[in-house]
């Protein structure tokens, strides 16, 4: 399977959000929030976009305090993290403002367990530098951030990642696989994966391996009948119906 990023519907929604933030009226409203259930390709999208734009990419940690966050950011930017917190903040903000490149912070929910102190530091940086700051987290993070009006008012756009559609899966299959996947198999992959990108990628890899073993150039749902394309680690609930074709 080819190693490349495929621009599915979620990526297009993300880019539309970025465009809207770039066209914002209030310069200080430079935050964009991305929310998603697990497995919809949020982190892969953020990393890809950060690479393309030379943005600084970070993953929030449960242990983050404002100082810990600023120290890690200083290290990423290649500026000194020595001195008191005010001095580190000044060094970081000067570097961000000088280049004007975005800041991307994934898993932001990790640092909300003890209040909004880290978010306050992020807000101060975005206010001062006016660079775009993308913060991303689980689907419940929007409600948590909404508790803090001083931060909520800086969020110019909210982008929610959705389950992959059959059209998304078709795009992934066409760009990543050498074997041709029939429409009925695309629909079956969408059904078994519930649109989660991680499971879709595993299903596509399974299809490619099956084709290679059998010398097939095309595959349809009948060819894979009886095969579980997606691994579900959760034990079945009592009385749960096993999906057809599994």
Domains and CATH numbers, the chain: 9-160 (3.40.50.300), 166-219 (no CATH)
> Tokens 């001195």 belong to which residue?
83
Tens place of pLDDT for every residue, the chain, 246 residues? 999 999 999 999 999 999 999 988 677 678 999 999 999 999 999 999 999 999 999 999 999 999 999 999 999 999 999 999 999 999 999 999 999 999 999 999 998 887 899 999 999 999 999 899 999 999 999 999 999 998 998 899 999 999 999 999 999 999 999 999 999 999 999 999 999 999 999 999 999 999 999 999 999 999 999 888 987 555 444 443 433 333
Give the three-class secondary structure for 244: coil
DSSP code string of 148-163:
-HHHHTTEEEEEE--P
* Tokens found for residue 186: 């695309």
pTM of the model: 0.87
Asked whether the CA dihedral 123, 140, 157, 51 is positive or negative, the reply is: positive
CA distances from 149 to 98, 108, 121, 127 (A): 29, 17, 15, 15
> Taking the CB of residue 144, how many other CB atoms lie within 10 A of it?
16
Q: At what angle do helices 166-176 and 9-22 cross, to 10 degrees?
A: 100
Report whether 149 contacts 123 (CB < 8 A).
no
Closest CA to 148 of 128, 118, 107, 105: 118
> Taking the CB of residue 239, how many other CB atoms lie within 10 A of it?
5
- Eight-state DSSP code of residue 111: G
């Amino acid at each position: 399977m080819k190693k490349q990023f495929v621009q599915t519907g979620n990526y297009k929604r993300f880019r539309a959000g970025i465009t809207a933030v770039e066209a914002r009226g209030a310069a200080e409203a430079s935050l964009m929030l991305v929310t998603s259930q697990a497995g919809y390709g949020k982190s892969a999208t953020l990393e890809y976009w950060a690479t393309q734009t030379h943005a600084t990419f970070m993953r929030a940690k449960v242990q983050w305090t404002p100082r810990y966050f600023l120290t890690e950011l200083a290290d990423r930017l290649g500026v000194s993290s020595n001195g008191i917190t005010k001095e580190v903040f000044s060094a970081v903000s000067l570097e961000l403002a000088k280049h004007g490149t975005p800041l991307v912070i994934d898993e932001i929910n990790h640092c909300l367990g003890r209040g909004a102190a880290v978010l306050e530091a992020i807000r101060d940086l975005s206010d001062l530098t006016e660079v775009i700051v993308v913060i991303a987290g689980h689907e419940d993070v929007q409600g948590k951030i909404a508790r803090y009006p001083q931060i909520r008012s800086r969020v110019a756009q909210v982008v929610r990642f959705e389950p992959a559609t059959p059209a998304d899966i078709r795009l992934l299959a066409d760009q990543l696989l050498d074997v041709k996947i029939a429409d009925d198999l695309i629909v079956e992959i969408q059904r078994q994966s519930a649109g989660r990108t991680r499971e879709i990628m595993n299903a596509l890899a399974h299809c490619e391996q099956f084709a290679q073993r059998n010398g097939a150039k095309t595959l349809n749902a009948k060819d894979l009948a009886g095969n579980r394309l997606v691994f579900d680690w959760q034990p079945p609930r009592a009385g749960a119906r096993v999906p057809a074709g599994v």
